Structure 1
Amino acid sequence: MNNKQSIRMTIVYDNNAFDKRLKPHWGFSCLVRGLEKSILFDTGGKGKILLSNMRMLGIPLEAIDLVVLSHIHRDHTGGLDALLKENPRIEVWLPVFFPSSLKKAVIKRGTNLMEVDKFQKICEGAYTTGVIQGWINEQSLILDTTKGLIVVTGCAHPRIIKIISKARELLEKDIYLVLGGFHLLGFPKNEIEEIIETFRAEGVKKVGPCHCSGGEARSLFAEEYKDDFLDIGAGKEIEIL
């Protein structure tokens, strides 16, 4: 657990802009700082937008130590090549099932590649769930903080409840915050409400649905969680003391 300093999370890429200086675009990317290593979780859909948003936020590209990619969809991996072109020293953690063409492109940049299958420690205070099976297989990021676990999801294709249950099981701790794509766009209202009830039953204290979560899901989570709902968009910063 990170006991020495606060954890700072910055949403770099999302289809909504919290900071109106930034360009919104379909996709997701979240930067985590304050741990042993700085981690960029997913890289959005377009490298030009990713790099522009990072520069607008004053984030130096050389300060990123690791990239963790949740799954193969381009709205989460599209910015990777542009990022590695600027900083090939970044280490890339991606699911083992990614195509060999992408892996070769990463290695060609001179970048260290870590292929993920099972749950493992990334650095002090950060873990990958390992590949969780679903209609699209995916890994999520777990941060172990003084307030509880933070689970960051890309698109939650294996289903968001399955992911948060897995995170609790793996680290045997309560969940403080779940943030990212919940993949609830187009879901019936009653199903979303059942998912929110399960979040409460699982003891999730704060939520930040974005990207593919859908407007109705965001509204229903906001109604239930009130002050513990985080309005997520590109440029949003969250500090965990």
Structure 2
Amino acid sequence: MFDSSGPASALVPVDEVRITTLVDNVYDGLLEDGPFTTRETFGRAGEAAPQFEGGRTEVGLLGEHGFSSLVAVRRGAAEATLLFDTGLSPSAMITNADRLGTDLHAVEGVVLSHGHFDHTGGLAGLAGRLGRERLPVLAHPEVWTKRRLVVPGREVFELPTLSKTALAGEGFDVIERREPTLLADGRVLITGEVARTTEFERGMPPSHQAWLDGDWRHDPAVIDDQALVVHLRGQGLVVLTGCGHAGVLNIVKQAQRLTGVDRLHALVGGLHLGGRAFEATIDPTVAALAELSPALLAPGHCTGWRAQHALASAFPDAWVPSSSGSVHRLVAA
């Protein structure tokens, strides 16, 4: 699975990509299927509930402020499956996987988009489910950075910091890389550290701080942010982000630059445009994405309601709301 040989431009086109959203901020059991997306409705998972006739009720899936996706790529008869982020809590990803009938033992590796706890919290649950299997975890070397939020009028909130020692103790094989990495026999690309080139994507506000060189400092970049890229044969790039702290256009530009493929077919994941600090970024982001004209746009997690409304209006045929349990299936031309 974790094959880093060859340049990123050697990314192998695939015949099919399936992205299953295991955890997102929202679960909506009434969403309808679309051209690329199927939804998890009620009727698959139930629990005991004596107040109902028959003693059971339907439970749907869990939503929490976090993100996790299961990514399956197929070329011919060969298929590879990896996990991209693990959600906020130790239990949500595992619970949703069980309710979806997903066997996490099929996962061949884990990729962490960055170190924030709402993307790494489910590693504990995954370790409990898999036991001491030596599952590889790919992360940027700065994923262990200690961070905090200092918001005026609120208590200082120090974010839970991921521990490399603890992960190794739970049976994970931690692999740290800044540079782009090819996975799954060249069928999946992890961008590595993303170059910041756009004028309008300026990163996190001053309230986001990191412990650097013995002091708390503004951390706008979240330099460990990275994304997952697949080249769908005849269609273009499929880009999956965790939070998109590097800026979604910076990420797409890096994917294009690394692969030599210009066309963006699908963009899925968090775009981090929520909150007042990012309002000025929404319009130029929408305008830049309009030039790329993706066939599928499924922003979730930290994208924010203002950005969601803007994107839904600008991309009426491509935009779909994200939800735990959504499966985006994309096939080659």
- Does the 8 Å CA contact 2:73/2:187 hold for their aligned counterparts? no
Task: Report the counterpart of residue 109 of structure 1 in structure 2.
Answer: 170
Task: Report the counterpart of residue 217 of structure 1 in structure 2.
Answer: 307
Return the match for 2:252 from 157, 164, 169: 164
What's the offset of the Cα at 1:60?
0.5
| Equivalent position SS for 2:323 | coil
Letter in 2 for 1:175: L
What's the offset of the Cα at 1:132?
2.3
| Equivalent position SS for 2:83 | strand
Q: Is the helix fraction higher in 1 or 2?
A: 1
Task: Report the counterpart of residue 126 of structure 1 in structure 2.
Answer: 188
Task: Report the counterpart of residue 221 of structure 2 in structure 1.
Answer: 135
Return the match for 2:289 from 176, 195, 199: 199
RMSD: 1.9
Gaps of 5+ in 2: 1-11, 29-39, 42-59, 146-161, 196-219
Q: TM-score, normalised by structure 1?
A: 0.92
Q: Within 1, Cα distance between the matches of 2:68 and 2:290?
A: 26
Q: Within 1, Cα distance between the matches of 2:189 and 2:138?
A: 11
Task: Report the counterpart of residue 31 of structure 1 in structure 2.
Answer: 70
- Does the 8 Å CA contact 1:118/1:129 hold for their aligned counterparts? yes
- Does the 8 Å CA contact 1:45/1:74 hold for their aligned counterparts? yes
What's the offset of the Cα at 1:53?
0.4
> What are the residue-to-residue correspondences of 1:141-160 with 2, within 5 Å?
141-146=228-233, 147-160=235-248
Deviation sequence 1:194-223 (CA, Å, 0-9, x none):
211101223433311110001111111111
| Equivalent position SS for 2:322 | coil
Q: Within 2, Cα distance between the matches of 1:79 and 1:191?
A: 30
Task: Report the counterpart of residue 142 of structure 2 in structure 1.
Answer: 97
Q: Within 1, Cα distance between the matches of 2:66 and 2:139?
A: 17
- Does the 8 Å CA contact 1:125/1:145 hold for their aligned counterparts? no
Number of residue-to-residue matches in the alignment: 240
- Does the 8 Å CA contact 1:182/1:212 hold for their aligned counterparts? yes
Letter in 2 for 1:32: V
23-32 or 114-123: bigger deviation:
114-123
Is structure 2 residue 112 aligned with structure 1 residue 50?
A: no
Letter in 1 for 2:187: G
What's the offset of the Cα at 1:39?
1.2
Is structure 2 residue 271 aligned with structure 1 residue 182?
A: yes
Q: TM-score, normalised by structure 2?
A: 0.68
Gaps of 5+ in 1: none
What's the offset of the Cα at 1:99?
2.5
Q: Within 1, Cα distance between the matches of 2:251 and 2:73?
A: 24
Q: Within 2, Cα distance between the matches of 1:7 and 1:89?
A: 25
- Does the 8 Å CA contact 1:84/1:90 hold for their aligned counterparts? no
20-29 or 70-79: bigger deviation:
20-29
Q: Within 2, Cα distance between the matches of 1:99 and 1:217?
A: 30
Structure with higher Rg: it is: 2
- Does the 8 Å CA contact 1:11/1:31 hold for their aligned counterparts? yes
Q: Percent identity?
A: 28
